[in-house]
Structure formats: C-alpha cells, structure tokens
Amino acid sequence: MQRGGISRIAVVSAILVTLAAASASSLDLGLQTWAGNLGFATDRTSTDTRFPGSHYFWGLSLYGSQPITDKFGFETGFYSDPVLRNISYALFSYNEKAISLGVGPFFGLFNDRGTLLKSGISTSVKLGLPGVVFVSFRSDSSIGGDLVQEGDYLQQRDDISFGFYVPNAICTLSLDTRKFEQKTDVDTVVDSLTIYSFSTDIFQKNVPYRLIVKFSYQSLVREFISGAAATTLNSLVLGTEVDITMTDSLLLQAGIEGSVYSFGQGTLVGSSEGFLFRTFAGVKVNVDSLPFMSRL
C-alpha cells in the first residue's frame, strides 16, 4: 500500500485539532480512514498498458468544525486522496438562510521532499431555499505559475452540486473534478479525475440512521506533457453509505463503492482483472455532548 506521508499528516493533524479544541465551543471532530484500488500508482509510466487492480491505496482524514457566532463558522481539516495526494484547509464561513459563503487558506503537505508546503486558497458558495432546493460550489486551488524545478506541483479541485428535497430524501446531481500536476526528472505528469454522480440521501425523522445511495461515472486520466499517449480508466460506479447516530455525541459512518463496469482508453488495454473499489469508515464526535464535558 502507498502511504504517501500519511503518518506525518496524522501527527500534524492531531496536534492542530487538539489546540483548536482547547478553546472551542460546540465543537465537532471527525476521523475517517479509507482504502481501495481504484486509482493509478504514482510511479506508473507511459509504457504501462494494463490495470490489474493490484495497487492498493489507503489514507486518513481528520477534521473539525465549530460555529463562532450565529452567522459565522469555522472548519479545518487534513485529508489524503489518491489523485490530489495530501491536503489541508481552513474555511471561514458566513451563513444566512438562503446563502452561505466561505473562504480560507488551502495547502498541499508533504507531497514532495523539496516542497513540503504548497499554498493555495479555498472558496465556497451555497444558495438555496431550505427544504426545497440548493446549489453549491467549492473550489480548492494552489497558487503558482509554471512548474520549473523538479518536484514542483499544482493541485486543484472543483465541486458543483445541485440538489432538491423530496419526502424523506435529498437528491443531488454533482460534478467533481480533481487535478494534480507535477514536474518529474524526465517529464511533467498530470493526474486527473472527473466524477459525474447522482446520489439519494434517505432519512426519516427520529430514526437513528440514514442511507446514501450513489451512482457515478468516473474518468481517471494520467497524461504526460512530453506527448506520450494518455492513460484513461473509465468506470461506472455504484456506492452506498450508512450513517448511524449512536448517541447525541457520537456518529458512525461506513461506506463502499465498486466498479460495475470499467474500460480503458489510450494506452490502457482492456479492463481490470480484479474488483475495483473504494471503502471508508469514520467517526464524528460532538465534544459538547460528551458526558464529562457537562462537569467542566
């Protein structure tokens, strides 16, 4: 498995989240781990023509959020991704009934020995009528121009969603794009992922769990600026997630998505011989609701 600096991310994340918790009110903290083989190995070359599905990836995410006032909030997090590598962010938000605006710093962490920290900016906008319809946009992007030195890289993620409410469910159409571009010793390599998805979040009042069903078309691409043919893996993916409210302070999450059908383009010949999947499990804690907090 490819750890990609996850252990260092975990240490940094734990320290910063703990510091934030010291002065926090109504603080939510979360931890999530994921694993899967639906991705390209970071050392894949332009001459590779097969995708056996034998490269496994795993990662860890830590995050926290809290309201500052009735209208202002703050969230921060660290996460890893098979395309974007290691990411951190801090987002300050302003919230009204029909609109939410967010902005803050965005960082790439420990993705190259020569560039330990890559700065950027995060922005988000959400418009909607509560309980009726909404549209949201989120963008995370590195700041920088041309890649000059070996190891230089750029990260970018854009996510736009349109959702509407029906009885006991929220239906959402989404477009998610991710891109990681890096200069190596022989070439400049671009990894990108485009996801078109439709999801249904099913819930019921006073029921301690909710079910999310998601169907998506995903296109994973590795390009070489030198002119070598791109490698593309296209997949139809079906996934599900379950959130279970154990207590007022504890929420458990688990999910899996798997390829129903995959096919290659460019230099990729045929389809994978194995089952392609991603799976995750996580926990979310509301600190204020913990029993010992009431005694402090």
- Of the chain, the end-to-end C-alpha distance in Å amounts to 43
| Percent of residues, the chain, with pLDDT higher than 90 | 65
Q: Which amino acid appears at position 161 of this protein?
A: S
Q: Is residue 19 part of a domain?
A: yes
Q: Are 160 and 136 in contact (CB under 8 A)?
A: yes
Integer Cα distance of 125 and 123 in angstroms: 7
- What residues contact residue 47 under an 8 Å CB cut-off, 6+ apart? 267
Q: Is residue 127 part of a domain?
A: no
For 165-207, what is each residue's pLDDT tens digit? Answer: 999 999 999 999 999 999 988 889 999 999 999 999 999 988 9
Q: Is residue 219 part of a domain?
A: yes
Q: Is residue 115 part of a domain?
A: yes
Q: Is residue 181 part of a domain?
A: yes
Q: Is residue 141 part of a domain?
A: yes
User: Between 116 and 247, whose confidence is greater?
Assistant: 247
**Which residue matches tokens 């890559």?**
118
Domain boundaries, position 218: 6-66+80-85+106-119+133-295
| pLDDT score at 185 | 83
Segment 36-56 mean pLDDT: 85
Q: Are 3 and 57 in contact (CB under 8 A)?
A: no
**Which residue matches tokens 């997630």?**
241
Q: What is the total count of domains within the chain? A: 1
Residue 295: pLDDT band with limits 50, 70, 90: low
Integer Cα distance of 68 and 92 in angstroms: 9
Q: Is residue 263 part of a domain?
A: yes
Q: Is residue 101 part of a domain?
A: no
What are phi and psi for residue 12, nearest 5 degrees?
-60, -45
Q: Which amino acid appears at position 23 of this protein?
A: S
Q: Choose among 146, 145, 128: nearest CA to 137.
A: 128
Q: Are 246 and 254 in contact (CB under 8 A)?
A: no
| pLDDT score at 240 | 97
CATH number of the domain bearing residue 264: 2.40.128
What is the pTM (predicted TM-score) of this model?
Answer: 0.88
**Helix %, strand %, coil % for the chain, to 5?**
10, 60, 30
Measure the CA dihedral 52/53/54/56, to 10°: 160
What DSSP state is assigned to residue 295?
G
